[in-house]
Each structure stands twice: as C-alpha cells, then as structure tokens.
Structure 1
C-alpha cells in the first residue's frame, strides 16, 4: 500500500496550531479594495480559526 500524500496546496494555505486548531487567512482581501471601507479591510487582516464544517475536510487533505 503506498503512502498517503498530503495536499501540498492546502498545506501552504492553512496552519495547524499546537492544540490542533486550523487557522487560515480571511477571505475577501485580494481585490476591489478601493470600494471597501478601511474599517472593513482592517477587520479582514490576520488569521482566524477555520469553520468546524471545513476543518474536517481540511484535516483529511492534510493527512491528519
């Protein structure tokens, strides 16, 4: 049986914390920034914990 390979693209997009939580960059900060309020763009900076429904799928892609 061959080894399970982790999804390298997903590994570049998310980070697993020491306690096992999955954190990722918030969406919506790539384009159309002139239209968005400064308050909005500031709120989108930084990383947040991934939603529970997505976490299960992401963990499978990471081979965890």
Structure 2
C-alpha cells in the first residue's frame, strides 16, 4: 500500500501539538477590523483546539492514522 499524502491545504491551516491535539487559528480576523473591539481582536491572536467531530477527518488529512 502506498504512503498517504498530506493534504497541503489542511497542513497550512492546522498543526499538531506535542501532546497530539490539533489546533487552528481563529476566523474573522482578516479585514473589517474597525468595528471589532480591542478585546475581540486580541482574542483572535490565540489558537484554539478543533471540535471533536472534525478530529478524525483532519488527522487523516494531516497524514496521521
């Protein structure tokens, strides 16, 4: 059986932590920032873990079994 290829679009959007969790950046932070509060914009900088329902598909796309 051939090796699995990494889905490059997924690899650019997610990363795996040392403990094996998959994390992603926050959405809605690219433009129209003037109407968003300072607190909200500051919170966009942090990464967050993905939903459990998405874990299996994203892990497979990242080349994990």
TM-score bracket relative to the smaller structure: 0.7 to 0.9
**TM value normalised by structure 1:** 0.85
TM-aligned CA deviation for residue 21 of structure 1: 0.1
Name the Cα RMSD after superposition: 1.2
TM-aligned CA deviation for residue 7 of structure 1: 0.3
Which consecutive residues of structure 2, in runs of 5 or more, have no partner in the other structure?
none
Q: Which runs of 4+ in 1 moved over 2 A?
A: none
Which consecutive residues of structure 1, in runs of 5 or more, have no partner in the other structure?
none
Residues 13-62 of structure 1 deviation map (CA, whole Å, 9 limit, x = unaligned): 11101111001111111111111111111111121111111222110111
**TM value normalised by structure 2:** 0.84
